[in-house]
């Protein structure tokens, strides 16, 4: 059997045994790297980050971050319990930190390790705005998006190796052209759309979580309009970005709000 055929066969087997259905997305997701490998590394990186940055504690803003994040976590637990997935978060180690930075950002590492930068608070403004951000970031972890991106990266590397083998006997110029074409095709036709889809998934799940937590998902539109105004003219064209454009995102969120409210109503949360 040739190396090329062996690589393809290995890939087929790997894909067949490494997909798991995610309760939040309802999809079979790629998992070439296990959470038993990812989570300890994520926890270590999170702790290292905290030692290298100024963590804000004891302030009203720090307490707000912890309170809102806790409500989002409880909403996720309630949803999982109601859908027969009570053990899904068994390996999570939730932690919520406000970090001093002018950067307008927040993130959640695999396993529930959350950071909110102080620079985003003037844009979140209130609890509902913060719930929009935290619901979105937590949803990345709940949907195992980090695991999927790592797995996709491994597949991209394997594909590059296959291209290298296929053109290995060609001229240096042909090899370089083939690798460049492969890189551009997988980046713009695969990896970036893959990432944008994750952002849209996180928006959808996050809206549901914030609604179950008692925050009106209508406020998510207001928050993203503020974000759009803050970043006007700074974003690249959508096809070159890891994120949907602000206009696309806001339009999608408006379409998703009724479903989020309907899901929250199952938990007794009603919005006028």
Query: Which residues are designated catalytic?
Result: 137
* Cβ-contact 137, 68 below 8 angstroms: no
Q: Are 201 and 29 in contact (CB under 8 A)?
A: no
Distances (CA, A) of 23 to 119, 138, 146: 33, 14, 16
Check if the beta carbon of residue 117 is closer than 8 Å to that of residue 99.
Answer: yes
Q: How many whole angstroms separate alpha carbon 94 and alpha carbon 112?
A: 5
Contact status, residue 187 vs residue 240, Cβ threshold 8 Å: no
Q: List, in sequence order, the alpha helices (H) in the chain.
A: 3-17, 35-52, 60-82, 121-124, 127-142, 145-166, 172-186, 192-212, 218-230, 246-265
Q: What DSSP line would sit under 35-75, residue for residue?
A: HHHHHHHHHHHHHHHHHHS-EE-SSHHHHHHHHHHHHHHHH
């Amino acid at each position: 059997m040739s190396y090329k055929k062996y690589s393809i066969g290995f890939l087929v087997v790997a894909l067949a045994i490494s997909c798991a259905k995610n309760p939040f997305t309802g999809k079979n997701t790629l998992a070439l790297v296990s959470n038993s490998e990812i989570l300890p590394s994520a926890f270590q990186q999170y702790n290292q980050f905290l030692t290298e940055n100024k963590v804000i504690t004891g302030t009203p803003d720090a307490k707000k971050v912890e309170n809102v994040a806790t409500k989002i976590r409880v909403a996720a637990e309630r949803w999982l319990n109601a859908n027969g997935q009570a053990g899904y978060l068994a390996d999570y180690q939730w932690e919520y930190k406000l970090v001093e930075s002018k950067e307008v950002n927040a993130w959640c590492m695999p396993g529930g390790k959350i950071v909110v930068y102080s620079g985003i608070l003037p844009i979140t403004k209130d609890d509902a705005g913060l719930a929009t951000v935290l619901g979105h970031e937590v949803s990345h972890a709940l949907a195992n998006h980090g695991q999927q991106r790592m797995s996709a990266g491994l597949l991209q590397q394997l594909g590059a190796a296959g291209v290298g083998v296929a053109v290995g006997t060609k001229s240096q110029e042909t090899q370089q052209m083939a690798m460049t074409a492969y890189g551009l095709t997988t980046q713009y036709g695969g990896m970036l759309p893959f990432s944008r889809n994750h952002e849209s998934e996180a928006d959808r799940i996050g809206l549901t979580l914030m609604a179950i937590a008692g925050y009106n998902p209508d406020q998510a539109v207001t928050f993203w309009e503020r974000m759009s105004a803050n970043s006007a003219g700074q974003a690249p064209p959508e096809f070159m970005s890891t994120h949907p454009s602000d206009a696309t995102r806001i339009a999608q969120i408006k379409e998703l709000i009724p479903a989020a409210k309907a899901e929250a109503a199952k938990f007794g949360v009603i919005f006028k």
